[in-house]
Structure 1
Amino acid sequence: MALGRLLHNHEEHAEAGGTIDRPRAYEIFTSIGFIGGRRAAYTRLATAARPRAGDQVLDVGCGTGYLSRIMAPVIMPGGRVTGIDPSPAMVDHATRRAPANCSYIVGEGQGLPFPDGSFDLVVSSLAVHHMPVEARPQALRQMFRVLRPGGRLLIAEFRPPVNPLGRRIVRALSAPAMRHSPQDLLGTLIPDAGFEVESEGDLPYLLYYVRATRP
């Protein structure tokens, strides 16, 4: 059985979406998956997001809050990170480890419970592939809505290894939703939501990112 199936609460389909409800197992799995480089990988993601002191940041699909905790000191003084995730177990795990300027709530990306223009920066890492395929366009429109004009977006997704052996290992260890091409997964979701794409490309540790702004 794939380790990915042990972490998810649903029958895995790339289109079906679902939540991860075993935060401790997820932390172990991701530490193994990044081969000791998780901190470095997420630091690269945080840097790519270009956080600034005083930023109000939203982390969509925050999971255990790992990226939030890396960004928290960078946006001080005056900045705050709000994380949202559909899994109560993940939100509880993140809340118990939260720095003073981080908070977490249960909710879905396709129905963000925040007023228009609430945030300077929205980030989402390894979360889009967990959303039902039909909900992904609405989730990106919601991210657009809650950003102020000129606000920034960073979406990061997993990219499968190029070499055949690496792909076989990924297939053995992960769920089907993580075997996609990130370009195929994201498609035109980001520009279709109204964003202007600034840059995109590969990062170390099998990550792919898209950085965009709200005009």
Structure 2
Amino acid sequence: MSQHQHVENARFYEISAAIGFAGQRRRVYDGLVRLSDVRPGDRVLDVGCGTGYLSGRVARAIGPDGQVEGIDPSPTVVVYANERATSNASFRVAGAEQLPYDDGSFDAVVSCLAVHHIGASDRGRAFAEMYRVLQPGGRLVVADFRPPTSRLSRLAVGALSGHAAEQVPLLDLALDAGFDIVETGHRRPVLAYVRAVRPR
């Protein structure tokens, strides 16, 4: 695939996301950043970073002394994200099931609309990896699709995913990995989330 095709595919993803969030993408993602309680100077991992939009919102919150790393299995979106990265953000090709980081490397892990792309048999391993790379006391916020409750939310999910939403058992996955749950909830129009910590 040519560089031009990589960029066009990533741009198409960005347009689909803008449509799917009905103009509310920044509000929704900034809400996830607040839930993660990231602070200036933190080191943060974005799992399934896509084109780096959530990482960019995290980068603003952690400031120049912080660092956000994003991983995604798609070289297309990683190229796109790195081309647009701020100085405190970087991206690499990797899967959530085998994170290329040492134990306890991060203060927080965030992920949005990634877990449903991971095979059901691999999701437990992905959450175990997120647990492993967090410091004791480190924070986790993972969001994914919730079942559509209206025609509008079904259209939004279709624009974002290209298929019907699968409800991913985020709470069970986090509990099975050993996290302490802080809260669960919804972010309109299409997300459910779990907020948790790695026990000290």
TM-score, normalised by the number of residues in structure 1? 0.83
Which secondary structure state, in structure 2, belongs to the residue aligned with residue 22 of structure 1? helix
Q: Does 1:140 align with 2:127?
A: yes
CA distance in 2, matches of 1:140, 1:213: 12
Q: Does 1:204 align with 2:188?
A: yes
From 37, 50, 66, the equivalent of 1:63 is 50
- Residue equivalent to 1:186: 170
Contact 1:84 1:108 in 2 (8 A): yes
CA distance in 1, matches of 2:127, 2:81: 23
Change (3 A) 1:69 1:138: same
CA apart distance, 1:143: 0.4
Structure 1 residues without counterparts, runs of 5 or longer: 1-20
Identity level (%) = 48
The 5-angstrom pairing of residues 71-86 of structure 1 reads 71-86=58-73
CA distance in 2, matches of 1:171, 1:152: 27
CA apart distance, 1:77: 4.3
- Residue equivalent to 2:110: 123
Change (3 A) 1:150 1:191: same
Which secondary structure state, in structure 2, belongs to the residue aligned with residue 39 of structure 1? helix
Contact 1:161 1:206 in 2 (8 A): yes
**Poorly superposed stretches of 4+, deviation over 3 Å:** 166-176
CA apart distance, 1:167: 6.0
Partner deviation per Cα, 1:88-138 (whole Å, 9 max, x = no partner)? 000000000000000000000000010000000000110000011111000
Contact 1:60 1:122 in 2 (8 A): yes
Change (3 A) 1:25 1:78: same
Change (3 A) 1:103 1:189: same
Which secondary structure state, in structure 2, belongs to the residue aligned with residue 94 of structure 1? helix
Change (3 A) 1:39 1:168: closer
Q: How many residues are treated as equivalent by the alignment?
A: 191
Contact 1:60 1:127 in 2 (8 A): yes
* Counterpart amino acid of residue 180 in structure 1: E
Q: Does 1:156 align with 2:132?
A: no
